[in-house]
Amino acid sequence: MWGACSSHTGPCSASTGARLFLWGVTIFFLTYAIVQIPITAMYLAGVLVQRVGCDVAASPDSNSTQRLLQLAAKELQVDAPLVRFAANSLAKCRSGNWSLYQLLQEAQDKNIKLGDVKLQAVDFSVVENYRKEADLDKALEELKDKIKGASVDSTLLEGDAENLVDKMKSTSFDMVNVDDYLQKIEGSPTMTNISTFSQRLRAAASMVGVPKTAEELRKSADRLDGYNKDLVVDIRAQLKGLKKQLEELKGLVQVNGTPIATVVNETYHRVLEAQKMIKDNGTEKIVELGTKVAKELVEHVDEYIRHVKRQVTEVIGRCGPVSTAYDATVNSVCKGVLLPFNGYWVSVGWCLISGIPAMIIALLLVPLFRRLDPFLIPPSESDYISDTAYSERDTIPLAQVNRKARRGGGGRGVYDNRNGYLHDYSPEYRDHHPQRSVAGVTSPSVAYVPAPHYNYTRDPDLPPYKPVHGPTAPPVHDWGHGGPDYHKPPPYYFPGP
């Protein structure tokens, strides 16, 4: 805008630039206000969710979170100790992997209630004192007394059993040598090979010269072949069954390789010793055995109770996995969704806020543009550097002189490069009205009466004015080819009709 509307030439003026500045500021402000309102609302909502949700969820045991939870519990009419206990439990699960029993134990110590129900852990004292509660020791002592008072006089073998044992002891199981029979039935059931013998008989029949004898030999060979096919096969099958029965009999007359008579005798002596021991020391042994069984039973029960207590207090209901899932959810929602959401709206808001200094600068430039009058600025030496500057800035548009003269009245005027002659508003002519022009054309030499003399104060910081007296300007046709001492020629004035 400055480059377009502050130059001496061009379609714009300083006032147009000022108006464009105002229009730009207005449009930007309206756009900024319309866009910034929802941006600010979204950002405030995101910050509120971050402070109330993410910060509380990320640091549930911090002081600020505790104060916020206490305020929320008061507003929502919720039990504040319960809310604080839940927040602290999340922090403890994150660091210590507490069990459910430990959390309930702490709630019991702090007297936390869930409605009308008081939170408390399992009381293992009742289970641990089961011996005292059930009077188990007293019951064992009573059992011992009963056993000691009882008469232990039992007979392990009755009369019939003793007679049977005596018979078994007197029976000799060595009369049948099972191993000898098993050895005998091994191999072929015949003394010789019948097939080989029948072949020899046929060979002998062919060699005998007596026909009757030869016929008898051949018949004998045929009978032997029939015996081999029928009787020998049947005998072999029966021998297999006999062998199996002999092996079973061997198992009956022996126990683990020991003859049955020896086993019966040893067993009988053990029974007699046991019967004697019961008669002599039965009561003490029974009391000792009962005490041992009761002690082992109590030890097993105690071990089971300790196992259950350890599992309940330390293992069951660990909150570490739940805390890990909770932290993962908080991080994914807050860091993955909410923080980028807030950052986006913050960046957009800062981009819009960065336009505020531009609006302020534009508003400061508006009065400067309006006060700016480029035609009262004295020409500097830079205006006379070349004929290009002269041709672009001070060429007199003679075609507009008559229009401007007809449009305006008389009085002193200056020439405007764009619109012809204008009224001179310099201080010495400011209080004088322009006179009528001669024949519709205003000329500086005839248009105004000289104004009275004025005294003006001068800024002491400015250097004193020294007029520059240069050499005589070259002819008009040589101005375009002047040297370094070239000066801008005076403006042309229309002399009038």
pLDDT tens profile 20-38: 778 878 887 787 778 878 8
> Count of alpha carbons within 13 Å of 336, Cβ hemisphere only?
7
Name the residue range of residue 143's domain.
Answer: 135-317
Task: State whether 202 and 313 are in the same domain.
Answer: yes
Task: State whether 276 and 322 are in the same domain.
Answer: no
Helices 14-49 & 339-353, crossing angle to 10 degrees? 160
Given pLDDT bands bounded at 50, 70 and 90, which one contains residue 54? confident
Average pLDDT over residues 159-175: 69
- Confirm if 392 and 9 have CB atoms less than 8 A apart: yes
User: Is residue 108 situated within a structural domain?
Assistant: no
User: Is residue 483 situated within a structural domain?
Assistant: no
User: Is residue 113 situated within a structural domain?
Assistant: no
Task: State whether 364 and 297 are in the same domain.
Answer: no
For the ranges 254-268, 463-477, 482-496, the one whose mean pLDDT is highest: 254-268
Count the neighbouring beta carbons within 10 Å of the beta carbon of residue 283.
15
User: Is residue 426 situated within a structural domain?
Assistant: no
Task: State whether 201 and 291 are in the same domain.
Answer: yes
Task: State whether 258 and 167 are in the same domain.
Answer: yes
pLDDT tens profile 238-277: 778 878 877 777 777 677 767 777 777 788 888 888 878 8
Question: Which residues lie below 8 Å from residue 382, measured CB to CB, with a gap of 6+?
Answer: 389
Range 170-179, long-range pairs (CB < 8 A, 24+ positions): 171/261, 172/261, 173/253, 173/259, 173/260, 173/261, 174/259, 174/261, 176/249, 176/253, 178/246, 178/247, 178/249, 178/250, 178/253, 179/250
Which range, of 82-86, 435-439, 486-490, averages the lowest pLDDT? Answer: 435-439
Given pLDDT bands bounded at 50, 70 and 90, which one contains residue 381? very low
Express as a percent the part of the chain with pLDDT over 70: 63
Nearest to 83 by CA among 102, 47, 56: 56
Helices 100-109 & 80-96, crossing angle to 10 degrees? 140
Task: State whether 211 and 354 are in the same domain.
Answer: no
Query: What distance, in Å, lies between the first and last C-alpha atoms of the chain?
Result: 41
pLDDT at 2: 47
Percent of the chain as helix, strand, coil, to the nearest 5: 65, 5, 30
User: Is residue 192 situated within a structural domain?
Assistant: yes
User: Is residue 440 situated within a structural domain?
Assistant: no
Given pLDDT bands bounded at 50, 70 and 90, which one contains residue 282? confident
Task: State whether 165 and 263 are in the same domain.
Answer: yes
Position 348: which residue type?
V
pLDDT at 419: 46
Q: Is the pLDDT of residue 428 over 60?
A: no
- Confirm if 469 and 455 have CB atoms less than 8 A apart: no
pLDDT at 228: 76
Measured distance CA(383)–CA(379) in Å, rounded: 6
Task: State whether 187 and 258 are in the same domain.
Answer: yes
C-alpha torsion sign, points 457, 463, 469, 474:
negative
Average pLDDT over residues 378-403: 45
Task: State whether 79 and 228 are in the same domain.
Answer: no
pLDDT tens profile 88-118: 787 778 777 788 888 888 887 777 777 777 7
Given pLDDT bands bounded at 50, 70 and 90, which one contains residue 174? low
Q: Of 350, 372, 394, which residue is a domain's last?
A: 372
Average pLDDT over residues 3-17: 56
Q: Of 356, 372, 388, which residue is a domain's last?
A: 372
User: Is residue 246 situated within a structural domain?
Assistant: yes
Task: State whether 358 and 249 are in the same domain.
Answer: no
Task: State whether 73 and 159 are in the same domain.
Answer: no
Number of domains in the chain: 2
Report which of residues 202 and 410 the model is more confident about.
202
Report which of residues 156 and 202 the model is more confident about.
202
Which range, of 60-74, 206-220, 410-424, averages the lowest pLDDT? Answer: 410-424
Given pLDDT bands bounded at 50, 70 and 90, which one contains residue 407? very low
Q: Of 302, 317, 332, which residue is a domain's last?
A: 317
User: Is residue 471 situated within a structural domain?
Assistant: no
Task: State whether 249 and 153 are in the same domain.
Answer: yes
